[in-house]
Structures are given as C-alpha cells and as structure tokens.
Chain A
Amino acid sequence: MTKQTAYEKPIPLKTLDNHEYWDAADRHELKLQKCAECSSFIHPPGPACPTCGSPETEWELLGSDISATVYSYIVSYRPFLPGFQHELPTVITVAALDAAPDVKIMANIIGCDPADVEIGVPLKMTWVDVTDDRALPQWMLARK
C-alpha cells in the first residue's frame, strides 16, 4: 500500500462545544456528551441539551468497542468535497449505537463492497489516523 502524502479531505474542526468528542477520537475512543439533568445523550454536542434545554452537561466515555446497526445509508458516486474523488463510490451511513439507539453517528463504511450494505446490518467502529495527531471515527461491517 502506498502511503498518502497529504490528507485532502476535510478534518473535523474542534470547537468549544465539540472538542471533547474529537479529542477522544484522536485517542481512538468514543466519548459522548450527556445531559446532567435528563440523562439524554447529546449528539452532535452543543452548548445545552436539545431534549430539555438544560445547560448542565457532562461527558461519558464509551470506550473503543463500539457496535451499531445501519439506520440508513447512501452510495455516493460523485465527490462533493476534496479527497473523495479517490474513493468512489463512497458509502455514507447514519448508524444507531447498540448501547444507545437514539444516538446515531454518521460516518463512512470503509473497506466494504457497497452491495453488502443494507439497512439493519451490524457495524463496528474503527478509527483512521488521518494526520500525526488526528484520527477519524469510521464504521466497518461487523464480522458475521
């Protein structure tokens, strides 16, 4: 395999509200924001809880063994952002976490034949190192 010289795709921008998520991703872990009042998970993270409006939020570490199922997906045949022209077609999914089905995480399903993807299939989270200090959560089809 040839090593990619430069990562062309967009790298997640860390912000005041979301950096805990991306900092954990860089360590190959999933960390979700949670409401301290109503205990709902908050994803994507924000300044308050969208379920109850409480500004009291905390973070919960879910670790590195993350499973989910495909809620929906698309197979995209055109690149709309830099870098994706090298990897067509691109499979993008919204997957419901087994541990918290209300939380759905969007990512690509990497290393798959698009024909093997369908709604309901099991997925496993993986992390791809995209630069020296940044990693991106991705999904892979779970082994049967």
Chain B
Amino acid sequence: MSTYSNQCAIVGVGENQRSRKSGTTPLHMALTAARNALTDAGLEAKDLDGIMNYSTGGDSCPSHELATYLGCHPKYVKDISGGGSSTELLIADAVALIEAGMLETVLIYRSMNGSSGDKVGRGYDPDMLQSMLPGGSFIMPYGSASPTQWFGMFANRHMHETGITKEHLGHVCISFYEHAQRNPNAFLNGKPLDMETYLATPDISMPFNIHDCCVELDEANAIIVTSASNAKNCKSKPVFIAGMAPRTTHSHVHYWTQVDEVAADHAAADLYKSAGVKPEDIQVASIYDCFSWVVMRQLEAYGFAKRGEVGDFVAAGNLKMGGSLPSNTAGGMLSEGYTHGMNNVLELVRQLRHDYKGTDRQVKDCELGISTGWAGPDIAGAMILRN
C-alpha cells in the first residue's frame, strides 16, 4: 500500500505575527496567514479550490468566511472540530481529494486567540465541560479540567514504568528552548533555559512545571497542498507528501484509563509502511509537543528510541542541532508558540526546502522528515515529508 507516493506536495506556508494579545479576530489573523502562504507559493486566492480548517469549541473562523474575504469561491470548504493531529488528518483529506481528481489546490489553516481568547490551559466552564466532554461528569467533579492534569496523569504512569525522570523531561524543554534562541519569531526567543532553572521551577500539576507546557498564544498558520504536477508551476520548492497515517485507539476521548498502548504506536507502523522508509532514515522531525512528556512517548512509539531508553536518548542531546534527530527546530510549541501542531509542520517544510541554508538553524542536507500529531493517547496522525 502506497497511496501517497509523492503525488502531492506542500507548496506554501505562512503565519501571522504571534502574540499574547492580538487585539484582533481569528478571521483577521487567518487572512494574514493565508495571504502569506499564497505569496510563498506564488499563487493567488482564485487558484484555491478547497479550504479546510480545524477548531476547538468554535475558537477559529469558518473556511467559507475566510474564502469570502480572500475574495475567492472555492469548490469545497470543510471545518472540523479537532486539536492535535488535525493538521496531518486534513492534509490527508486534501491528498485524497486531489488524487481523486476532485480538487487541485487546498489551503488548510488554524487560527486561534489561544492566549487572549479561549485558553485551553486555563480550563473551561465546568457545566459546559460536563455536557460537552464524553465522560466529563466523571472527571470535572474531581477538579481535573486542565490538560496539564489529564496529560500529567499519564506521564506519571509512563515515567513510573520506563524510568523517565523529571530531569529527562527537562532535556526536552532545554533542547527546544535552545532552538528558539535561533528563531527571532519564537515567543521565547531571548529566554534560554538551563537545567538548574528548570528543576527549580515549581510544578503546576506534577510532573509538569510551566516549561513542560506549550506557550499559548494568539496566532494563525496556513499550509497549501497541491498536486505534484501543479507544484511545478509554483514559486517555492515543493515538499512532497511521502506517507501518512491516522489512528484512534481508546474508547473514550477524555476518560483515559491506560497508556500502555497509544494511538501513536499503531500510526507509526502504518506510517513507515506507507512511505517505505524506516525510523533511522528520518533526518529532521516535528514531534507534537503540547507537553514535554508527549514527546517522550512519541519517540518511543515512532521507533526513535526503545522503551526504557528514551530518557537517555534525549539527555544525550539527540533532539538538538547535530543530534541524531533534530526536532522542533523552531522551538516547538514549548517555546515558539502553540497552534495546535501546525507551526511545527511549517518549520518542517522550511527545513526540507533548506530555507535556512548558510545559517546555524539549517539541518544540513536534510531530505526526509517526520511530523507527528497527538491529540491524546487515543488519537494520532502523522506524515512523512521529503524534498
């Protein structure tokens, strides 16, 4: 099975200025990101025949509205409710529609006032959570309303089973913060982190302190996917979609009760098969990093380090520039900004195009990269890109 076989490519990426307080709406931010992606690709809005978007609790703007103010009338618009993994899953949808001949060029975006508007980490209205979340009535009465608490529960179990320590989590944070210092657009540029500071920072929800949590911001990102034949007409160097895999496992979206087997474990096998490559072939990575520990569990799932050896793998500096798997090289969601995973994909595309050639930010000669999405232990989506 190799349905993806480089028949589609990402030809444009763009974002708006990220901030704590945008002072504007998700629609305005999405328009900026979309226009920047179009400019990057050398395309015009009228060239888009599909627009797709994902949001959580209606925190974005609808695709049809974005089309209206880009001044175009695409054949197809699609808005889904989702978080981590949605970038990869919508790109998979775009590839399928392009390969079926229904569409030619699709713009996918995520726009959110994630700091000044609905902030995931701050929690939500408890009655809304109880009625919105499956199993919510079995979680909220106990004070568990923040992802730091949900993910912390599984981090603790997995760390107990595999010997991962708080210091190991610190190495993930420090690696990504180091990348952010080379990225002037990273929110934590100018704020490097060392182990002493990391270990001295008090926990919010054990085992996570503020450094283990992504930086919630107001920002929008956009990606343009088109057919390989059309990619030749674009201004940018195409980055081909070489493999893709979605997966769900657990029975409940929020009432998680085990972390021994996660969706990413299954997505990994399908992903490498679809692209015809192995973990050791991957040269640059974008690993979903809503929390530091999520990176650890995915490094295990996607075969970059064996279970029980992931802590040593990150402590040895393998996620840094010059390591065996330079990851989240713009700083990741831990230190660049949080757009539900999409900003990590933008960076992967730029690395594979060698946009940073001649600087210390470029992963030298990289040709094959992986992007992993993680919504929870229950949902994963991942893709392999090549230049």
Contacts and interface: CB of A to CB of B under 8 A. Distances in A.
Interface of A: 9-15, 18, 22, 43-44, 46, 50-51, 71-84, 90, 92, 94, 104-108, 119, 136
10 contacts: A10-B129, A11-B141, A44-B255, A50-B252, A72-B156, A74-B153, A74-B156, A78-B205, A80-B145, A94-B257
B303 interface: no
Nearest to B139: A106
A111 B258 CA distance: 26
B131 A13 contact: yes
B57 interface: no
B102 interface: no
Contacts, number: 112
Interface of B: 122-123, 126-127, 129-131, 134-146, 148-149, 152-154, 156-157, 160, 202-206, 251-252, 255-259
A15 B153 contact: no
B266 to A, nearest CB: 17
Nearest to A71: B157
Nearest to A103: B257
Contacts of B123: 80-81
A74 B206 contact: yes
Nearest to A9: B141
A12 B154 contact: no
A38 to B, nearest CB: 13
A94 B130 contact: no
4 tightest A-B CB contacts, nearest first: A50-B251, A72-B157, A80-B123, A10-B126
Given A15-B137, A81-B143, A104-B257, A76 B131 contact: no
B259 to A, nearest CB: 8
A75 B205 contact: yes
Given A18-B138, A80-B143, A119-B157, 12 more contacts: A10-B126, A10-B130, A71-B257, A72-B157, A72-B259, A75-B206, A77-B203, A80-B149, A82-B126, A92-B149, A106-B138, A119-B160
